[in-house]
Structure 1
Amino acid sequence: MNIVKGKTYRERREEMLNGSILKTLLSIGWPVAIGNILQIVYNFADTFWVAKLGVENVAATTLAFPIVFLFLSVAMGLAVAGVSLVSQQIGAGQDEKKDEVAGQVLIFMLLLSAGIGVLGYLFSETVLSLLGGTETVVSLGKTFLQPLFLSMPFMFTWFTFASLFRAQGNTRTPMILNGLTLSINLALDPFFIFGWGIFPAWGLFGSAITDVIGRAIAAVLALFLLFSGRMGLHIRPHHLKPRMKWLKKFISIGGPSSLSSSFTALGFTVLMALIAQGGTDVLSVYGIGSQITRMSNIVVIGLVSGLGPMIGQNIGAGQKERAHEILKKAAAAVFGITAVLSLIIFFFRRPLYSFFIQDGGIIREGGRFLSIFALSIPFFGIFRVAGSVFQGSGHTKHSMFLSVIRIWVIRIGLSSLLYSVLGLGIVGLWVGIALGNFLGGSLSMFWVSFVHWEERVIDVPPSLMKGLKKPAGVLKK
């Protein structure tokens, strides 16, 4: 089944190994950016409907979000192992191995998600209580969280599918499936929340159920494509037998990436607590500013989404020089595009704030925040470029180290120092947050320039090594 009219598996491999670098990055990146925009639209719509249930329901979802985001981060971090291992097998031309690795990644993710789902279901109320919710908010949050925890296998299946297809350079198929399931969620949300027509009025539980339905549909379609063998990957039942060799690889690559994502999520929670010390207005300034800069983040994530697979496939094929060329061109493109975006945000900072709110004080402080933060956005792009290179190459300990330094040492450390110790107040917070990008991005580029990340994390038989030494343009189809 060919869901979209696009390149074949062999054509995508040839493009990744020998095609135009920037054109390939853009062709892989734009579907990811569209998918992220669709997700934001759905989140806005879901919040709109939940808000009509009352402030306590909104508070319940707000309290539950960090918990959900933490496990989303775990799933996304572990899925990096799939991108690295499968992309390098594709580059090396080991088609049977790539299918075996894909099956191993899938079964490990399913087993892990089942354990997380059961534990999360049993301890939802306890965790929500520890976060400080009132009795009513905790009760509502439990109603919302428990169905989501039971759907963890669906969620992890989707992230596995998306990462495995991205390893091939195929991001259009996940975008279309994601758009389909989000459309179903958008359509069903008000029916299950308010009980329109023949549907029950389930309130916040109904919002969770629509999520579960969407995830289940996405997971079923993903499994069909993975097991059908019609779109590059062909997982067979014998590929699902857990093997210790691949489990060790999975943990060694996916573990640091997952820890990095978790540390980042926790770091932002600590940062929010620090910002909250400035009061409600300061929280509003940062919250609106984050919404404004989110679109630039979507562009960055889209641009770098093809970088990991391209690096992985070229390392797998033994094309180290091309891998370095990909890094250089990606860094230049990301820095240039985000520099333009940051200037737009800088010069239109007050009109952008006034679109969201009419409070003059918040608009003025928001203008000051963006005047400090906006120019650091290109350095965040460089940070993401370096992280994608380490993830695609499988050397994820470096990206974990850089993430911890950027969030915990630079951003949180300097923000605390400037705000509290040196007494610079709110300006100190904004400067510390911006320095997290400036210094984090600079350190990342220095780091990726001097460490050896171009070595394979897979084994390639000597019989294949000769074929991989052929010059670009004559690789076997």
Structure 2
Amino acid sequence: MIFGMIMLMTFGLVDTFFVGLLGTEELAAISFTFPVTFTLISLNIGLGIGTSATIARYLGSGQDHLAKEFATGALMLSFIMVGTLAIIGELTIEPVFRLLGATEEHMPHIKDYMYVWYAAGVFLALPMVGNSVLRASGDTKTPSMVMAMGGFVNAALDPILIFGWGPIPAMGIQGAAVATLIAWLAGMFYILYLLAIKRKLMLPRLLTWQEMKLTSRGILKIGLPAAGANMLTPIAGGVMTAIVATYGSEAVAAWGVGSRLESIASIIILALSMTLPPFISQNFGAQKMHRVEDAYKLCIKFVLVWQVIVYLLFMLTSSWIAMAFAEEADVAQLITLFLFIVPIGYGFQGVIILTNSSFNAIHQPMSALILSIIRLFIFFVPVAYLGSLLFGLEGLFGGAVLANVLTALVAYLWFKRALKLSQNEANMTNALEGERS
């Protein structure tokens, strides 16, 4: 998973690089599309989480026939939901992007890109959900390769379709969207072949209406809260950026660089958040709660130790990193300040992310959603804002760390309690079954 995520990040940068060569207007236009495309991707992530948790539980309890039925239902549901949103998106491009602040100069470029991207989004849904089916069965290697190959195809086609080559005409910004469509279309066919023919992890037919209702209800019960939790993060990020902006453009630039470095520093955590839940769900389905607890605690210990190492690396190389990202001395100084304070909290942030994933894995999606709300809007934004009022920008950075520490403590104690309750329920169920037999 780490390998796949690094490849995707790299090729995403390549995509932005080639569009940037077209000009400032094109680069600005594609920047306007990020909130909209992230909404569709968040829905896919949510459906993937619901799919993985449900199927892994059935596999763990030995109900393979239900796992196949839910895999088929998840793919059909994602196609229908994302397809519906894509049609709505196609019809509302102009009003939505005007609301986001796009000007007349941006609109032609946005339309060229989004008309194709919405169609491509439907083909993205099936590989993302299909990868979740594979992870639920214990295979994390294949999804990683699918992610990497999709990114590679996209990056390889970008310069050809954007600038033209031989008989292929230059398509401009639309070429970037066409490259994405081709990459995801190839991924969709490969995933369907794997699931339906090679691995036989889904049914080789469409579900009936009754089957579709049953599977959709189970997947959406976890998927919709998970998608909602994903969408909260950019909202909180926008609020924090607005607070940082009161300290000037230099502070915003430093915060932006720090946020990008945070995503790189959190790759291990994010990879674990994808691989831990299937393990937990399978053992949860098999009622082996001691294995759930052991896995959760082991991962928590690991991320706390790992992120201390990451913090030390950031601290030792902070001056070099600041010089690499900023030409102005004021910005470089603020980046250094960020790297000396904020990464202290990355390990605790890892505890929160893994606990959130674990709640979804034991089929408590509302607990995961509430934990996200607590983290972002009870602790993160308010504590960081209070810190900024008391101690300026240093207080804001320190407040972000304190917020992660407090939320991590709440998350850990809450999940331990949830595991204890689940263990008691499992013991009662086993006792009743024993009496009946």
TM-score (norm 2): 0.93
Corresponding residue for residue 413 of structure 2: 446
Rounded to whole Å, the distance in 2 between the matches of 1:273 and 1:217 is 40
2:203 is the counterpart of 1:235: yes
8 Å CA contact 1:104, 1:240 repeated in 2? no
In structure 2, the partner of 1:254 is 223
The superposition leaves residues 313-366 of structure 1 with CA deviations (integer Å, 9 ceiling, x where unpaired) of 001111111111111111111211122112211232222221222322111111
* 2:66 alignment counterpart: 97
Residue from 197, 214, 230 that aligns with 1:245: 214
The AA in structure 1 aligned to 2:79 is L
Structure number having the greater helix percentage: 2
Provide the secondary structure at the position in 2 that maps to 1:306: helix
1:130 is matched by which residue type in structure 2? L
One of 271, 278, 284 as aligned partner of 2:253: 284
- Does residue 353 of structure 1 match 2:322? yes
Which position in structure 1 is the counterpart of 2:392?
Answer: 425
Alignment of 1:390-429 (within 5 A): 390-419=359-388, 422=389, 424-429=391-396
How many residues in Structure 1 have an aligned counterpart in Structure 2? 428
Matched, 1:339 2:332: no
Give the alignment of 1:48-447 within 5 angstroms: 48-228=17-197, 230-231=198-199, 233-239=201-207, 241=209, 242-419=211-388, 422=389, 424-447=391-414
Which runs of 5 or more residues in structure 2 are unaligned? none
> Within 2, Cα distance between the matches of 1:123 and 1:136?
18
**1:383-415 residue CA offsets vs partner (Å, 9 max, x unmatched):** 112112111111111111111111122222223
2:22 and 2:147 map into 1 onto residues whose CA distance is: 27
Separation of aligned partners in 2, 1:329 and 1:36 = 22
Q: CA deviation at 1:186?
A: 1.2
After TM superposition, which residue ranges in structure 1, 4 or more long, deviate above 4 angstroms?
A: 455-458
Q: Which amino acid aligns with 1:92?
A: S
**In the alignment, residue 308 of structure 1 is paired with which amino acid?**
P
Q: Structure 2 counterpart of 1:115, which letter? A: T
Q: Determine if contact 1:42/1:182 at 8 Å carries over to the other structure.
A: yes
Per the alignment, do residues 37 and 74 of structure 1 end up closer, same or farther by CA in structure 2, a change over 3 Å counting?
same
Deviation at 1:423, TM superposition (A): 5.4
Deviation at 1:266, TM superposition (A): 2.2
1:297: how far off?
Answer: 1.0
Output the amino acid matched with 1:331.
Answer: I
Alpha-carbon shift at residue 238 of structure 1 (Å): 4.3
Alpha-carbon offset, residue 456 of structure 1:
12
**Cα distance change, pair 240–362 in 1 and its aligned pair in 2 (3 A):** farther
Change (3 A) 1:176 1:376: same
**Residues of 2 paired with 1:335 and 1:216: CA distance?**
39
Structure 2 Cα separation of the partners of residues 398 and 280 of structure 1: 38
Question: Aligned with 1:243: secondary structure?
Answer: helix
Q: Provide the C-alpha distance between the structure 1 equivalents of 2:139 and 2:220, rounded to a whole number of angstroms.
A: 25
Deviation for aligned residue 1:202: 1.2
**For the Cα contact (< 8 Å) 2:154–2:183, is it kept in 1?**
yes
TM-score, L = length of structure 1: 0.85
Is the deviation greater in 203-212 or in 340-349?
A: 340-349
Q: Is the 8 A contact 2:384 2:396 kept in 1?
A: yes
Measured against aligned partners, the alpha-carbon deviations of 1:12-71 in whole angstroms (never above 9, x if no partner) come to xxxxxxxxxxxxxxxxxxxx1111101111111111111111111111111111111122
Maintained 8 Å contact 1:125/1:139: no
How many Å separate the matches in 2 of 1:359 and 1:48? 23
1:417-457, Cα deviation, whole Å (9 max, x unpaired): 333xx354322332233333222222211211222474799
Looking at both structures, which has the greater relative contact order when contacts are Cα pairs under 8 Å and sequence separation is at least 6?
1
Distance 2:208 2:196 in 1: 11
Q: CA deviation at 1:122?
A: 1.0
